[in-house]
Amino acid sequence: MEMIIAANWKMHKKTGDTAEFCRAILKDQQLFKGVEVLICPPYTSLPLAAEFLNDSSLKLGAQDLHWEQEGAFTGEIAGPMLADLGVEYVIIGHSERRHIIGESNNRIRSKVKAALEAGLKPILCVGETEAEREQGSANSVISEQLLAALEGLAPGDMEELVIAYEPVWAIGTGKAAQPGDADAACSFIREVLQNAAGPERAQKIRIQYGGSVKVDNIGSFVEFASIQGALVGGASMQPDSFSALIQAARKAVQN
């Protein structure tokens, strides 16, 4: 299964910064063979990034979408608008949207459906808070988030998903999960997926780890068979460090 490493720029980078990043990262694209590399800029940079990445091996993702395909929703962006730009993936249920914007599991389920309907592949984020981990309820939170998002999906559609396991306390803190704990959580996610989609289909779903991933720790995550890539925030902002991180991941898997 091809590893997938995604850059989540969050609310960073204007068009000039996007152009600069794309120009630099594209020079290294032959070093990324065997890794699916994805850039998820803010909406305002998507058209420009699409132009740069067109004809390259790098893919484009969005950070969110609306749950309807069109309508009177001032300020919102719908899946078909993203697909129209050449966007292939969309992050759904990132913890910053769950915990800062207040998105519920039901809302996230409607967005997963909307993405699939628009032909986009969802990167569904799940993960527990620090308090939930301390209470020993991490697995129940993760399975609740997963099952809520998958409810009502045809098993065939589930294959389109990528799952990002992102413990909330590890995001943007510099305090990544212990690789062994990430392995345990991702193996648990695989079990939940097997029950929901059947073992064969679940096998096709890639699971990423996210939360303070850097060039010097990426290898310790992806060397586990349970983890097929990473969702990267801070370390994806600079082309040099993001390129080094992708190459380190590739090396770790080849070893």
Q: Is the dihedral angle over the CA atoms 171, 177, 181, 184 positive or is it negative?
A: positive
166 binds ligand PGA (CB under 6 A): yes
CA distances (Å), 39 to each of 55, 153, 178, 189, in order? 14, 26, 26, 24
* Residue closer to ligand PGA, measured from CB, 8 or 145: 8
Strand partners, 237: none
CA 75 to chain centre: 23
172 binds ligand PGA (CB under 6 A): yes
Residues 229-248 that bind ligand PGA (CB under 6 A): 231-235
Residue of 8, 208, 226, 228 interacting with ligand PGA (CB under 6 A): 8
Find the part of the chain contacting ligand PGA (CB under 6 A) among 24-32, 37-45, 114-122, 205-213: 205-213
**Smallest gap from residue 15 Cβ to ligand PGA (A):** 22
46 binds ligand PGA (CB under 6 A): no
* Residue closer to ligand PGA, measured from CB, 70 or 216: 216
The CA R_g of the chain, rounded to the nearest whole Å, is 17
Of 235, 217, 237, 236, nearest to 227 (Cα)?
217
- Please, are residues 241 and 211 in contact by the beta-carbon 8 Å criterion? no
3 binds ligand PGA (CB under 6 A): no
249 binds ligand PGA (CB under 6 A): no
**Smallest gap from residue 172 Cβ to ligand PGA (A):** 4
Task: Look at residue 124 and give its three-state secondary structure.
Answer: strand
Which residues are the active-site residues?
A: 94, 166
A 10 A CB-CB count for 162 gives 23
The residue ranges that bind ligand PGA (CB under 6 A) are: 8, 166, 171-172, 210-213, 231-235
